[in-house]
Each structure stands twice: as C-alpha cells, then as structure tokens.
A = this chain, B = another copy of it.
Amino acid sequence: MTTIYDIAKAVGVTQTTVANALAGRGNVSEATRKRILQCAQDMGYRPNVLARGLAKGKTSTIGFLLPTIANPFYPEIAEEIERITHVHDYQLLLCNTHHDYALGRQNLERLVSRWVDGIIVMGSSMDLVDLVHQFEHGLPIVLCNWQENEPSPGIPQVNVDFRLAGELAAHHLLALGHQKIAIIVDEPQQTTRFAGFRAALLSAGIPLQDEMIQLGDSTIESGHAAARTLLTSPQRPTAIFATNDWMAIGALEAAREEGIRVPEDLSIIGLDNVIVGAHISPPLTTIDIPKHQLAKKATELLMRQIDGDRDQAQSILIPPELLIRHSTAVPSSATMGDAPSLPVR
C-alpha cells in the first residue's frame, strides 16, 4: 500500500504538502499539486481510512441495525439508506440481529469498537436498554420504525403511525361488511398496530374474539401456521389481518391448502407493502409503509445529530396508507342486503 509518505518521497516534498494537495486545501502551488496528484494516481494511492479515522476521531461510517434482510421489507429501506449515506460520503455498516437481543448487543458493540459516527436502528432488532446506554455515552442514534410505543428516552426517532395502520386495516374490513374478523400478530413487537386494529373493531361494535387472535413471528411459515389454526377452527373467520405482508403470504398459502378462495371466501390484508405482494395471486391488499420517506428522515435525523445538533429529541411520525388490491372483498356469506360494494384501485 502506498502512503502519503511514499508520494512525498517520490515527488520530493513533505507529507504535509501531499496531504494538503490531496485534501484540496489551497496552500499548495499549482505546480507541485499537479505533480503530487499525478504521482498519487500513478502509484495507485488510496487513503487509509483507518488512519484517518484514528487521527480525526471520526470515521465517516454509520451502522445500521435491522432484524433480517431475509424479509424484503428491510432491504427496501436498507438500500435507500445506503444510497443516501453514500451521497454524504458515509459508509454503511449493515448488521442483521435476527431478532436476537444478544446478537443485537454484540453487533452494537462491534459498531462502537469501530468508532462509527452514529447508528440507525430498526424496530424489533434489539434491546432498547443497550441503545440508551450508548446514547447517553454520546453515540448519535436514531430509532427507525421502532416497535411500537416503547418509551424512547430522548433518542430521536422516525416512526410510522402504526396505530393508524391498524385502524385502516380494520376500517377496510368493516367497510366491506366483515363480522368474523381475525388477526395474526407478532407480539409483543407489533402491539400498536394490534391495538389500533382492536380498538377500531370495538368501536364498530365488533369486538375481537380471543380465539380470533393468533401469534406469529413475522415469517411466512408462522403466518401459514397461524392461518391454518384459524381456518380449521369451527368459528372460521371471513377476514384476516396479518400484521406484516410476509405472514399474509403465509396465510394466503394456508387458505389455498384448505380450499378456501381468496377473496371470495376469505379476505386477507397485510401490512408493509412489500414489492412482491403486488405480483402474487391474488395481489395482496395491504397497508403501505412509506419506506423511502422513513429512510430519508432517519438518515437526516442522524446526520443532524452527527453534526452536533444533539438533544433536540425529535420524533417524526409518518402516516401509512391503505392499498387495496385483490385479496380483500365483500364476504360471500354476506346475507345482509346492504353489503357495501368493493372499491378497487
């Protein structure tokens, strides 16, 4: 590896001059600058960011903690954050925690050891306690999509209004005329969307029955298993809200296996708006999470913190939107004469 010292020697000047020339500081004569740049090029010089980080106490690196890139919801956000951070000349360090708090802490410590300038953490990826600890020690942190209403002691965050998300799902199903409604939820991670859903049903006079609540862990398989339980019970629901698309896809699969048609005999609505959801059969009705906006705001908040703008405990809330496709419809068993018609976009 060639260093600035090598260049200095070759050109016949000192380190400082090379450093200045390379950094584009004005105090170098045009002639020597040219020679230096040329030489750097020839020798294939690459600055050593370790040395720079050590000297400056800043690494231009930010960490990004998420549960798993296996659920395509996260890659959509991760790629956007990567894009933005690159524009600002930061390098992104991606870490999967696999919903494992121990792994989350380990990853966090790795990042701290690397002197990252800040981190963005997605909900369900780790224990808030560990984060608070680092935050109080001065590490810039932004909570993104933090599940759900956990108190965040002064840590800036950008969130989706999950309560509203749950309400939107409920209202959609209610508007279609459903009465026997079930939910598949990843508890306690996704408790707010659950609460919103439940409250909306309740205020419509259709309280959610206990046996209509099934737990999942956000994977396709868990959605599949939960739906299976729901669909083989005597009290079979006519509509299911899966609190993420991945589980909704599993539910879709279970319905198919049971010979239950979607949306004719069963409506399924997800949450996330994962790209593939639009391309399967039937195209999945879902609650859209504005992922790019989430990524953008989170990165902005972090950059601001890194630039010294601490302690203005920002908390941004982004509204989700109902996205009607074809996995939801008026219940076929709707005997009531005033069944509302199905709006489709």
A interface, CB within 8 angstroms of B: 1, 44, 46-51, 53-54, 59, 68-70, 72, 75-76, 78-79, 82, 91, 93-94, 96, 109-110, 112-115, 137, 220, 224, 249-250, 252-253, 256, 275-276, 279-281
Of all chain B residues, which has the CB nearest A1?
B115
Please name 21 pairs of A and B residues whose Cβ atoms are closer than 8 Å in the assembled complex, sorted by A. Answer: A46-B113, A47-B113, A48-B54, A49-B113, A49-B114, A50-B50, A68-B79, A69-B75, A70-B76, A79-B96, A93-B93, A220-B275, A220-B276, A220-B279, A224-B279, A249-B279, A250-B279, A253-B280, A253-B281, A256-B281, A281-B281
Min Cβ gap A326→B in Å is 10
Please give 17 more A-B residue pairs, beta carbons under 8 A apart, in addition to A249-B276, A280-B280. Answer: A44-B137, A47-B113, A49-B113, A49-B114, A49-B115, A50-B53, A51-B54, A54-B54, A69-B69, A70-B76, A72-B75, A79-B96, A82-B96, A252-B281, A253-B280, A256-B281, A280-B281
By beta carbon, the residue of chain B nearest A221 is B279
Copies of this chain present in the complex amount to 2
Decide: B114 and A50 in contact? CB cutoff 8 A: yes
Q: Which of B109, B113, B220, B279 is A48 in contact with, Cβ under 8 Å?
A: B113
CB-based contact A110/B91 at 8 Å: yes
Please, how many angstroms separate the alpha-carbon atoms of A180 and B258 in the complex? 34
